[in-house]
A and B are shown apart, each in its own frame.
Chain A
Amino acid sequence: EVQLVESGGGLVQPGGSLRLSCAASGFTFSSHWMHWVRQAPGKGLVWVSRINSDGRSTSYADSVKGRFTISRDNAKNTLYLQLNSLRAEDTAAYYCARSYDAYMDFWGKGTTVTVSS
């Protein structure tokens, strides 16, 4: 059974940092690209970032470019998202999603990030 379990969310002050993790199981993690998608409270889905299967190629939404860094550890079957210089507008549930043939086919349950003083 495919499982994606996010962790690392919490309350952080503006300008602060967090690292989100996504533990994968039930499939060959190293064969799949992965994505992060976020959803602000009461709002829609917004794509954040993606990483290829070996971690050498990444892309980001303009809103997070230069502040967020996606990475992965295939030996640990874990995806990461480093969030720096956080702003109030980064407050959201963050979902990791598996990529299959380029699209997001399976999503985790999400972890919540709240940026507030």
Chain B
Amino acid sequence: QSVLTQPPSASGTPGQRVTISCSGSISNIGSDYVYWYQQLPGTAPKLLIYKNDQWPSGVPDRFSGSRSGTSASLAISGLRSEDEADYYCASWDDSLGAWVFGGGTKLTVL
């Protein structure tokens, strides 16, 4: 059972906008930043969004992040087939003294 809660799956058709949610608590998302990672099949995770809504160099602005209270979300607009991957949210948990991840959301592009 992951500390952060994500839906196990999401889907959309090319060109659509898809949103993935991440729910936490006051000790993690409610008091620290949220990060999003993309893991393409068979590869290592890649940083997608940092500090709630910032893009690392090279990440297209089709990906956007937001945080409100103890929840966060990742939005992907203009969905493409190459976006098919697992997406993970992460945050530091002050109570646990540990980094915590969501269980991951498998995005399927129909």
Q: Enumerate chain A interface residues (CB-CB to B < 8 A).
A: 35, 37, 44-47, 50, 59, 61-62, 95, 102-110
Contacts and interface: CB of A to CB of B under 8 A. Distances in A.
Contacts of B103: 44
Closest 10 CB pairs of A and B: A47-B99, A44-B104, A107-B44, A45-B101, A44-B103, A109-B44, A107-B45, A105-B47, A103-B35, A45-B88
Contact of B88 (A44, A59, A102): A44
B44 A105 contact: no
A103 B102 contact: no
17 contacts: A44-B2, A44-B104, A45-B45, A45-B101, A45-B104, A47-B90, A47-B99, A95-B44, A103-B47, A104-B37, A104-B47, A105-B47, A105-B50, A105-B56, A107-B44, A107-B46, A108-B44
Contacts of A46: 101
Nearest to A95: B44
A113 B21 CA distance: 31
A44 B88 CA distance: 8
Contacts of B2: 44
Contacts of B90: 45, 47, 103-104
Nearest to B32: A102
